[in-house]
A and B are shown apart, each in its own frame.
Chain A
């Protein structure tokens, strides 16, 4: 995988690596929780509610241009990128982790504890924007004021398996790949949300903190597909498409190293200073 991005202003820039949430050190997890908690305490456009609301309610529902459409992956890559930058304004170097639902058959522990060290765990639940709640109720979709989950409720589709992900990764055409990956993505939303949970509902899904870990996993699968199919790509007709409300086109999402990140199973190392 890439190790650095070159630009005229910054010839060598170290990439940041997104990690599996189960592989994060306690220090990394604490920083991530601190960033999320800080974002949740901010009520303006730097805050969690604003960022989560971009996906669904309050109106407009911006992700509507992305679901069931070939820009599903680029749009969500841009969404994650800008949200991650928002967090890094609050906690430098923090990165969004991924939830590998092919190996975890349950909500990851980091997201499943109501409290940590006696304080509310910001990865467990989040307050939902009251305007979103009011609009949802008007649409006949009343939801709890704090996000809840009903993982694995009876009647939900199962979580994707490794074999299913490998099957999707083997698809050589981007259109086929994104369509089938989006199906696996939909299954995870409904598996987490169940009946009353926010994740199972487009209008509220992004308010649940686990939304981001789920979508980082989806973005990671796309990154792996890009590496396995270097000659394949997004159809040319889509490349110049803008990904509203983000000031980014599809082309600008294709190279994760140009966005300053990549995926790693582990990052080990130490200071280069010797005694």
Chain B
């Protein structure tokens, strides 16, 4: 996808909630088979886009995909096996097994003590004519975790 905005979720930083020492935004099942890009994350800023600066109050951090940039093998080479693995199969995981990305957002979250929270992710990469939003962001789900 070119851009992601979540449905509103409860904000663990809203007034009345217990304080936390750390907050992580964790993205599961992140695809890295395509180009490299930076996924910029904004809180409560569904309109955030390529032009939203890093010093915007809604900017929470980013993760960067060091991308595989396509499949150089033959047909099937880059298909990640699905289903249970043979317990005697000692081979390492498939190269394109989706990754987990954790972004520490403690201070950014504390700065936005609203009741509800939306997460917006804008995938950006340097293009031939400058920065561009790239259609390479794929992940299964995300969680916002806080720790005492």
B-chain residues with CB within 8 Å of residue A196 when the two chains form the complex: 128
Chain A contact surface mostly: loop
Report the nearest B residue to A57, measured CB to CB: B72
**Alpha-carbon distance between A155 and B100 when the two chains are bound, in angstroms:** 23
**Alpha-carbon distance between A180 and B105 when the two chains are bound, in angstroms:** 12
A35: Cβ under 8 A from any B Cβ: no
B126: Cβ under 8 A from any A Cβ: yes
Nearest CB in chain B: distance from A83 CB, A? 19
A-chain residues with CB within 8 Å of residue B102 when the two chains form the complex: 176, 179-180
Select A195's contact among B54, B99, B101, B126, beta carbons within 8 Å.
B126
Interface size class of A (residues with CB under 8 A): 35 or more
B70: Cβ under 8 A from any A Cβ: yes
Beyond the given pairs A141-B72, A156-B126, A186-B66, 15 more chain A to chain B contacts, judged by CB atoms under 8 angstroms and listed by A's residue number, are A57-B72, A61-B68, A61-B95, A139-B69, A140-B69, A153-B126, A155-B38, A155-B50, A156-B38, A189-B66, A190-B36, A193-B36, A201-B35, A201-B67, A202-B67
Jot down 29 A-B pairs with beta carbons below 8 A, ordered by A. Answer: A59-B73, A61-B72, A64-B95, A65-B92, A68-B99, A136-B69, A139-B69, A139-B72, A140-B69, A141-B69, A154-B131, A155-B124, A155-B125, A155-B130, A155-B131, A156-B126, A157-B62, A157-B64, A180-B104, A186-B36, A186-B64, A187-B38, A190-B37, A190-B64, A193-B36, A200-B36, A202-B36, A202-B67, A203-B70
Q: Given contacts A61-B95, A139-B72, are A194 and B126 in contact (CB under 8 A)?
A: yes
B127: Cβ under 8 A from any A Cβ: yes
B-chain residues with CB within 8 Å of residue A28 when the two chains form the complex: none
B132: Cβ under 8 A from any A Cβ: yes
B25: Cβ under 8 A from any A Cβ: no
A150: Cβ under 8 A from any B Cβ: yes
State whether B132 touches A136 (Cβ < 8 A).
Answer: no
List residues of A whose CB falls within 8 A of some B CB: 57, 59, 61, 64-65, 67-69, 135-136, 138-141, 150, 153-158, 176, 179-180, 183, 185-187, 189-190, 193-196, 200-203, 205, 244
